[in-house]
Structure 1
């Protein structure tokens, strides 16, 4: 299972135990000016040739193309990066601190900007790194690369719509203590009293960390910026309304891809007593999905540049 799906599975337990979640309120505050002047990535020649090439989208190949480009710093590392664009794209991030039911809660809003008109690219939904006094305290799920297709325009910020929330209880310098509470716990054999005891222990842990530890917090967004063939096929699919590319293996049943009998074979419907669809569960093998996603792609959509990693300026706030 991909790591981001494991993170989502872990979230279910966290929510059940009153721990803070992964997705937050989708809102945007003013982003900081970067002062950067990104370079541009030009499409290949033959911009109006009408030539096409058959391509498909494989998330495993996208992941492989960025492997080794950047190793996120570990919990406890001292880390102070420089903001840097890649392939004409600069991440931008906003972080706002507020109280939610008495708990310090930080909402992080990721996005991208460019100086290249109508630039389409693959990038992360919102990979973040959090430091306190320049020491890494990122939640364990904060560095995952989940690729999606975006189009950025000059002077504007394209939001990823995958906001992130964290609290003091989820930061990596204390999160192991929460994990220890539930480590080895068997829900299938636990009594109601045992479950209640664990939930009470978790609530006490969350209350202990309801206030963020004092210090200067900096939140960075980073991402590989991918053009080339993967972005070109993603553009064609986006024009058809097919998005959420990283999760299509499981979500294809809710897209036009479900019209393909090969995809249908790997989906199961849950119906109510009257035959109405309640849910559709899919697990489509990558080879089957790749066949369903193959398209003729105009060569002018393809920019011949390798993936590179970009870093935002820090969104900064101080806790006294």
Structure 2
């Protein structure tokens, strides 16, 4: 899913079926941007000068969060209690509106804390949706994609990963959409066959423009990771290196590309005049780990284990 080619393929399917994972699309979009990342501020910490060498490994961070919580399956009854973890509380807003006649739920995830300037690793937006307390979350978007955040008291730090959900994507009906495209071979299909499939998909969307009646609750949950992973993430953020989950593919748009070992795994695509069109990378984790190693102040390290936090539900009713 995190291969750029697979992400591009996911976009093609998404345009036809809107059933692709949001992470692949987001990673692809990020790879097209050449804007420099903005450093994330943190609370000022008096340091002793003592440091230890640390690096960031995405696989280790993901593993630290993967075993903490199994999201409920489609059709399960689920009514969680909200609660913070390691001083962090997820916050989510959900609003229902009409977009060209289609019921569309916009989900805005974020985090807050009672601890000034707390830096942590957490999901960019892991969402669970229920209708009358029965899970109807879209099938995509359940994986833990960690990013470094700094939350402030009485404020909400937004993840910038807003999601849009329509009735056709809810898991209790989306199987019908998947069946339309299941086994369809775009490379060999005729124009008439493609048009027929697109018409079938359009009819499916039309049949699910309205959300079924009920009380909808949208929850955000996430592992909250401090300790050494958050400490190295903070140091990297202070350098302007963000988007840690996508660095394997987006390192070419950061200062890391100045490292010859990283640059060896990137390819520049230029136009006829030699102007850079885009830069594609696929950097092995071990190479990234070497490039990301830094001396980290010991004061940046909070010795607490990862834990899971759940937001208060954002709720709305469809009559």
What's the TM-score, normalizing by structure 1?
0.89
SS, match of residue 53 in structure 1: strand
Distance 1:10 1:125 in 2: 19
Q: Is the 8 A contact 1:113 1:157 kept in 2?
A: yes
SS, match of residue 173 in structure 1: coil
Give 1:22 deviation, angstroms.
Answer: 4.5
Query: Residue 10 of structure 1 aligns with which residue?
Result: 10
Query: Residue 119 of structure 1 aligns with which residue?
Result: 118
Distance 1:3 1:140 in 2: 19
Query: Residue 153 of structure 1 aligns with which residue?
Result: 152
Q: Is the 8 A contact 2:217 2:316 kept in 1?
A: yes
Q: Is the 8 A contact 1:129 1:142 kept in 2?
A: no
Moved over 6 A (4+): 3-8, 18-21
Q: Is the 8 A contact 1:17 1:203 kept in 2?
A: no
Query: Residue 238 of structure 1 aligns with which residue?
Result: 237
Query: Residue 252 of structure 1 aligns with which residue?
Result: 251
SS, match of residue 292 in structure 1: helix
CA 1:283–1:3 in structure 2 vs 1: closer, same or farther (change >3 Å)? closer
What's the TM-score, normalizing by structure 2?
0.90
Query: Residue 88 of structure 2 aligns with which residue?
Result: 89
CA 1:11–1:218 in structure 2 vs 1: closer, same or farther (change >3 Å)? farther
Number of matched pairs: 300
CA 1:220–1:11 in structure 2 vs 1: closer, same or farther (change >3 Å)? farther
SS, match of residue 249 in structure 2: helix
Give 1:15 deviation, angstroms.
Answer: 2.1
Q: Is the 8 A contact 1:18 1:202 kept in 2?
A: no
Query: Residue 132 of structure 1 aligns with which residue?
Result: 131
Deviation string 1:125-148 (CA, Å, 9 cap, x unpaired) is: 000000000000000113221100
Give 1:19 deviation, angstroms.
Answer: 6.8
Determine whether 1:189 maps to 2:188. yes
Distance 1:6 1:318 in 2: 37
SS, match of residue 85 in structure 1: coil
Matched ranges for 1:241-280 at <5 A = 241-280=240-279
Deviation string 1:33-76 (CA, Å, 9 cap, x unpaired) is: xxxxxxxxxx9xx9632100000000000011123210000000
Determine whether 1:309 maps to 2:308. yes
CA 1:126–1:145 in structure 2 vs 1: closer, same or farther (change >3 Å)? same
Matched ranges for 1:49-88 at <5 A = 49-88=48-87
Distance 1:304 1:217 in 2: 38
SS, match of residue 251 in structure 2: helix
**Unmatched 5+ stretches in structure 2:** 26-42
Q: Is the 8 A contact 1:19 1:169 kept in 2?
A: no
Query: Residue 214 of structure 2 aligns with which residue?
Result: 215
Distance 1:63 1:315 in 2: 26
CA 1:245–1:80 in structure 2 vs 1: closer, same or farther (change >3 Å)? same
Aligned-CA RMSD value:
2.2
Q: Is the 8 A contact 2:19 2:178 kept in 1?
A: no
SS, match of residue 229 in structure 1: helix
Give 1:11 deviation, angstroms.
Answer: 4.5
CA 1:244–1:289 in structure 2 vs 1: closer, same or farther (change >3 Å)? same
Higher alpha-carbon deviation: 154-163 or 61-70: 61-70
Distance 2:313 2:62 in 1: 25
**Unmatched 5+ stretches in structure 1:** 25-42
Q: Is the 8 A contact 2:13 2:20 kept in 1?
A: no
Q: Is the 8 A contact 2:47 2:297 kept in 1?
A: no
